[in-house]
Chain A
Amino acid sequence: GQNIDQPTEMTATEGAIVQINCTYQTSGFNGLFWYQQHAGEAPTFLSYNVLDGLEEKGRFSSFLSRSKGYSYLLLKELQMKDSASYLCAVNSGGYQKVTFGTGTKLQVIP
């Protein structure tokens, strides 16, 4: 079966750093996505990790440890517009079979 866990909600302060964790147990693994979804909008792609390690993209970084079934998304210099749900998803099928976690709702406060 497929199981992806991430915290339901988090709150952080504007300008701070926040780390959103994701653990997964899936049958098969091709890579791990992070998506951002603002309320009422479609998810937008943030990152895709295939190999272990940290990938940095501006204020956003994503880390993957395949042996531990663990990933995190790191958001630096938080801005109010970062308030959104962050979805962890695993690509596990022979092709494009993607299983999403239920998402972490991040609230950035002044």
Chain B
Amino acid sequence: KAGVTQTPRYLIKTRGQQVTLSCSPISGHRSVSWYQQTPGQGLQFLFEYFSETQRNKGNFPGRFSGRQFSNSRSEMNVSTLELGDSALYLCASTLAGSSYEQYFGPGTRLTVT
């Protein structure tokens, strides 16, 4: 079974631009969560989607948004990029139901200059 895939793996953007990151969960997994990881803050929860609905949201500004498609693939978008948005963005998929184990993708390394 293929793992969680994220594209692109690396991205360089300039301040003010916007970016869209993609995550394809493990086949059959319906819950997708997004995290931002930085050396100082660790892993911080962005949001979680299940069946195309956002069920949970972390404490990030409205510049961070996401969506999930009917095939469970998810995208997250960051608008008006700031230098502080430079981070590793990880997505994780979960089978949902009684299973809570999250399987993480390799992440997208975003650098904002």
A binding-site residues for B, Cβ under 8 Å: 30-31, 33, 41-45, 48, 87, 89, 91, 93-103
Contacts and interface: CB of A to CB of B under 8 A. Distances in A.
Interface string B24-68: 000000010101000001111100101000011010000000000
Interface residues of B, number: 24
A95 B56 contact: yes
B56 A96 contact: yes
B43 A87 contact: yes
Contact of B44 (A30, A91, A100): A100
B48 A96 contact: yes
Interface of B: 31, 33, 35, 41-45, 48, 50, 55-56, 58, 90, 94, 96, 100-107
Contacts of B96: 96
23 contacts: A33-B100, A33-B102, A42-B90, A42-B105, A87-B42, A89-B43, A93-B48, A93-B55, A93-B56, A95-B31, A95-B50, A95-B55, A96-B33, A96-B48, A96-B50, A96-B56, A97-B56, A97-B58, A98-B102, A100-B42, A100-B45, A102-B42, A103-B42
